[in-house]
Structure 1
Amino acid sequence: MADTLQEVQLTEAVPLVSKNPVQPLVKDDVNQSKSPDPVTIKVHDIDTAYGNLHVTVHGVHKGNRPAIVTYHDIGLNHNTCFDALFADEDMQEIIKHFCIYHIDAPGQYPGAPAFPEGYQYPSMEQLAEMVPTVLHDLGVKNIIGVGVGAGAYVLAYVALHYPSLIEGVVLINIDISAKGWFDWAASKFSEITHTIVDVVLNHHFTQTELHEGGDLVQNCRRHVLQDINHYNLALFFRAYNSRKDMDLQKASPASSNLNTIRCPALLVVGDSSNVGDAVVECNSKLDPTKTSLLKMSDCGGLPQVAQPNKLTEAFKYFVQGMGHMPSSSMTRLVRSRTQSRNSSICSIDDGRMRSRTRSQCSTGSP
């Protein structure tokens, strides 16, 4: 497969949320991390059977440890979707142990040229089939996936069909179901009567969030207006709206031949998110001994951006539960948790993440 490579210095990251709502979003792949030391990144463009994928690699592969692979949602790219999470101060204690591979969906990275008229955009299943090719070309044997929305669907598909590649998966705002006829017709009408910007904002945020128009909403609006090719974005959006039902079967420790995700999974959703019911439904179909559901209080459509510190804490215990975090690296995170008991995660108990079987989990619970 063809692969072009660039090497740059990573020195600072600019998250989607900022104290100054007029601060511009990052428009290219050269960001700066809040980590005190500069990190060298490499940008790959990798050809697959279904098109080219833009992959940004942070760090170098760490021995036998899995890599962290991210996949963003509609209307975002790896910068705007994940910068707030991976620039979080507490996250630095985690990511120094892993190499991170950020995958941008075709045509969604900053500065991507418009696809030619009539271009056949890959289906969601084809987007997922591109991931193993990328991993093979980059010499990655196993991963911990972190996906949001459409990206969560892609990584869930990979976990389902290529279980040997994925050790664990974090699925934020996952919806594994195909759109029903009514939802499909409503989305088509929305595409006709609304701009792509409005369609994307309604995908991410509740009507309450849109009405309040906070910094996150305004920054997301500006990003979609200025930083993404709208033709390419519309193709990605339509692919997601045309996704097939993943048809997961209820898993149990005794089952062996079911169509289900068998690796450890952390499902995350804001308590006021548009996709709350879909995430709970997905949780009900996974193995309760390997799955945790984190329902974040006072949070809407983009929990990894709005409350990265809470998600960092959950991610820490998720990774530790798979045996990849040395206990000596947990000191500052444990201290941080002690200082903020009120925002602790209810599925965490004595340093371990417990699976939720019949109940949902919310931050702020006693």
Structure 2
Amino acid sequence: MPQSEGGYVSLPAMNGNGSAIYQSTTEPQAASPNSVFKSVRRAFGQAIKSSPGESEELVRMERPVVIVGGGTSIYFRDRDKTGKTLNTKMPSAPTHTAEEAHLLGTMPVDPMDDIELRSVQLQFPNARGSILEACEQRRMPTDKGDIHVAIQGDTSKPAIVTYHDLGLNYATSFAGFFNYPVMRGLLENFCVYHVTAPGQEEGAPTLPEDYVYPTMDELAAQLLFVLSHFGLKSVIGFGVGAGANILARFAHANPDKVGALCLINCVSTQSGWIEWGYQSFNARFLRTKGMTQGVIDYLMWHHFGRNPEERNHDLVQMYKQHFERGVNPTNLAMFINAYIHRNDLHLARTPPGTPGAETAATTLKMPVINITGSLSPHVEDTVTFNGRLDPTNSSWMKISDCAMVLEEQPAKLAEAFRLFLQGEGYAVGTLQKLARKMSAASRSSSTQIELCVQ
């Protein structure tokens, strides 16, 4: 390299050695002490294509150069433009290197501000615990013991009475559905009374050994105490599984107290041999061994059908944990035993007085919407139940890609329930306002057409 540009010269021999052997270590000339650093600075600048200021920042942050030659270590420290040695101690916490600054540009390295996270608001929380906070808890005395009733909404509004299925209670069965946004908007015009079977509520103590669990007909008769206590003259029934059977019994025995029914996976016949055998073993295991894996598998099949993990793994795990930890096995065994010993509802589509028909067989007189899931194991039972209803005031609906309709397809069920109530004249408020706007728009358009024709 030319001398004018800071070339290199051979170092003299070290430790008195007279030989002038050329050493591999070199030193810049005294006339240009910072020529080496200029060369390094240019090399870094070309490598990272950074500005001269960034290269200088990088060089200042490098460690002291150590040059070894002839068995002696020579340290060179950074010098300023006048040749004075600079303090080259490594900073304890550098903000960023020149290369990082070049890659990141002018992006600040301060911690990310959480202003966007603070602006996020959840308008309709779907947490299952929210229904517990929104409900008023009551214990109702009946002739067959106390039952738990949770009240959600304004008691001056029309009443909806719900009843749950096996292994569940009002919170685990209806919390997700009634916290769905469509249902929250619709229930501003109703008051919901969640009825729980004896001993099936969350954290219920074990029923006494001498306690005689009510039959299905007696469970239906307990609803009379609920209506009498709250002064309800007519209610809308909303039941699932075993709860749907109980509400159907109550509506059949008290047709003047039920204005409409929405029943999901309702069974209207007595239990068959296979169901009776499986459920008898389940009840025995629940009494003797507690919640076994076989009982959990049967309950999962009862609610979700086959292969539920392929549809919603998280939902299945949540219900398995509920069956393992949140259910009293002894109380559930009593409820299952009452369900498998149910009798037939004795419903018939044929009007009374028809030759060959049973004299006591009548069908439900109120409007009924009979719903099931396409993957549910109770599809055939709902078809049988639909064949016993009056086709003029009943409808059967099968919702695709689900078995537990309330959890897997809440939007479709909420829309069907809303239209059912609207058809029966129960839905008010926004639905009526929308209908009036549509009718007013149609009348105005027809008036304009008549004027144009004239």
Q: TM-score range by the shorter chain?
A: 0.7 to 0.9
Decide which of 50, 67, 72 is 2:144's aligned counterpart: 50
1 or 2, which has the higher helix percentage? 2
Decide which of 152, 161, 168 is 2:253's aligned counterpart: 161
CA 1:44–1:192 in structure 2 vs 1: closer, same or farther (change >3 Å)? closer
Q: 1:179-212 CA deviation, whole Å, 9 max, x = no partner?
A: 1234322432455575432332232122322677
Tell me how far apart the structure 2 counterparts of residues 297 and 180 of structure 1 sit (CA, whole Å): 26
Matched pairs, number: 301
* Bigger mean CA offset, 168-177 vs 112-121: 112-121
Tell me how far apart the structure 1 counterparts of residues 406 and 176 of structure 2 sit (CA, whole Å): 7
Q: 1:236-262 CA deviation, whole Å, 9 max, x = no partner?
A: 111111111112111569989742211
Runs (4+) of structure 1 moved beyond 4 Å?
Answer: 190-195, 210-213, 251-258, 330-333
Aligned to 1:319: 421
Aligned to 1:263: 366
Decide which of 163, 169, 187 is 1:71's aligned counterpart: 163
Aligned to 2:275: 183
Aligned to 1:19: none
Any idea what SS the aligned residue of 1:103 has?
A: strand
Tell me how far apart the structure 1 counterparts of residues 402 and 328 of structure 2 sit (CA, whole Å): 28
Q: Does 1:244 align with 2:367?
A: no
Tell me how far apart the structure 2 counterparts of residues 183 and 303 of structure 1 sit (CA, whole Å): 22
Answer whether contact 2:351 2:362 (CA < 8 A) is retained: no
Structure 2 unaligned runs (5+)? 1-123, 286-291, 436-454
Tell me how far apart the structure 2 counterparts of residues 248 and 73 of structure 1 sit (CA, whole Å): 21
Identical aligned residues as a percent: 36
Tell me how far apart the structure 2 counterparts of residues 103 and 189 of structure 1 sit (CA, whole Å): 27
Answer whether contact 1:29 1:110 (CA < 8 A) is retained: no
Deviation at 1:277, TM superposition (A): 0.2
Answer whether contact 2:131 2:175 (CA < 8 A) is retained: no
Answer whether contact 2:279 2:336 (CA < 8 A) is retained: no
Deviation at 1:328, TM superposition (A): 3.0
Q: Does 1:304 align with 2:440?
A: no
Matched letter for residue 425 of structure 2: G
Kindly report which structure 2 residues correspond to 1:103-114, keeping only aligned pairs within 5 A, or say none: 103-114=195-206
* Bigger mean CA offset, 146-155 vs 78-87: 78-87
Aligned to 1:14: 127
Any idea what SS the aligned residue of 1:272 has?
A: coil
Matched letter for residue 60 of structure 1: D
Tell me how far apart the structure 2 counterparts of residues 110 and 332 of structure 1 sit (CA, whole Å): 41
Decide which of 254, 257, 262 is 1:170's aligned counterpart: 262
Q: 1:142-171 CA deviation, whole Å, 9 max, x = no partner?
A: 101100001000100011000111000000
Structure with greater contact order relative to length (CA < 8 Å, sep ≥ 6): 1
Q: 1:28-60 CA deviation, whole Å, 9 max, x = no partner?
A: 9733xxxxxxx5x32110111111110011122
Answer whether contact 1:251 1:286 (CA < 8 A) is retained: no
Kindly report which structure 2 residues correspond to 1:270-349, keeping only aligned pairs within 5 A, or say none: 270-300=373-403, 302-326=404-428, 328-329=430-431
Aligned to 1:202: 301
Tell me how far apart the structure 2 counterparts of residues 199 and 206 of structure 1 sit (CA, whole Å): 9
CA 1:67–1:254 in structure 2 vs 1: closer, same or farther (change >3 Å)? farther
Tell me how far apart the structure 2 counterparts of residues 183 and 143 of structure 1 sit (CA, whole Å): 32
RMSD: 2.6
